[in-house]
Copies of this chain bind each other. A is one copy, B any other.
Amino acid sequence: MKKLISIIGSDDSDKNLSTYALETAEEIGGLIAQKNGILICGGGGGVMEAACKGAKEKNGITVGILPKSKEEVNKYVDIPIISGLGNRRNSIIVYTSDVIIAIAGRWGTLNEISYSMIYNKPLILIKGTGGIVDQICNKELEKINDSKNYYFVNSATEAIEKAIKLIEN
C-alpha cells in the first residue's frame, strides 16, 4: 500500500506566512509524489495548497480532508473528503497519516501537532519556516512530556529523507 504523508501548516489567512514556507511546502509536495507517496492535508489554502500544487506538478495523488464543504477545497486536491466536522477534522488528518510534516502554522497547526503526540505519530518540523513550528524548534515546548517522536530538519529534502526512513522502520 502507498504511504500516506501529511503536510500541516498555516492557511492563507496567516499574514506572517513567508514565501520560504510556501516554497518549502511546494517542494515537499513534489518530493512526496516522486517517492510514490500520497499527500494528505486539510485541503485548504496556504501551506496546504502549495504542497498540493507541488505534488500535482509531479503527478502525485492529493487528498484534502476538509472541514465542512467542497467549496473550501484548493484546486490541486484530487480527492476531497468532506468531514462535516469543522476543525475537528484535524484529528483525522493526523490519524490517517504514516508521518506528519509541519511548516509554519498557528493554533490549528498546534492542534494537529498535539494530536500527533497524543497518537504517537512521527512528526517532522522544518526549521526556519516560522510560526509555531519555529517556536517548537527553538525548544520552547521541550518540557511538555518525554515524547521522543518528533524530529527537527532544515529543508524539504531532509524532511522527505527522514519521512521515508521513519516509514521504512
Using a CB–CB cutoff of 8 Å, the interface residues on chain A facing chain B are 1-2, 4, 14, 38, 61, 63, 65, 73, 77-88, 91-92, 95-96, 106-108, 110-111, 114-115, 117-119, 131-132, 135, 140-141, 143-145, 147
Contact (A110, B106) CB under 8 Å given A88-B84, A88-B88, A92-B84: no
A78 closest partner in B (C-beta)? B2
Q: Which residues of B contact A147 (CB under 8 A)?
A: 107
A89 closest partner in B (C-beta)? B92
B91 touches A95 (CB 8 A): no
Q: Which residues of B contact A141 (CB under 8 A)?
A: 110, 132, 135, 140
Number of copies: 4
A107 touches B96 (CB 8 A): no
Q: Give me 23 A-to-B residue pairs in the complex whose CB atoms sit less than 8 angstroms apart, sorted by A's number.
A: A1-B77, A2-B78, A2-B79, A4-B79, A38-B79, A81-B92, A84-B88, A84-B91, A84-B95, A85-B88, A87-B91, A87-B118, A106-B144, A106-B145, A107-B114, A107-B117, A110-B144, A111-B118, A114-B114, A131-B144, A132-B141, A132-B144, A135-B140
Q: Give the top 7 A-B pairs by smallest Cβ distance, nearest first.
A: A111-B114, A107-B117, A140-B140, A106-B145, A110-B114, A82-B96, A84-B95
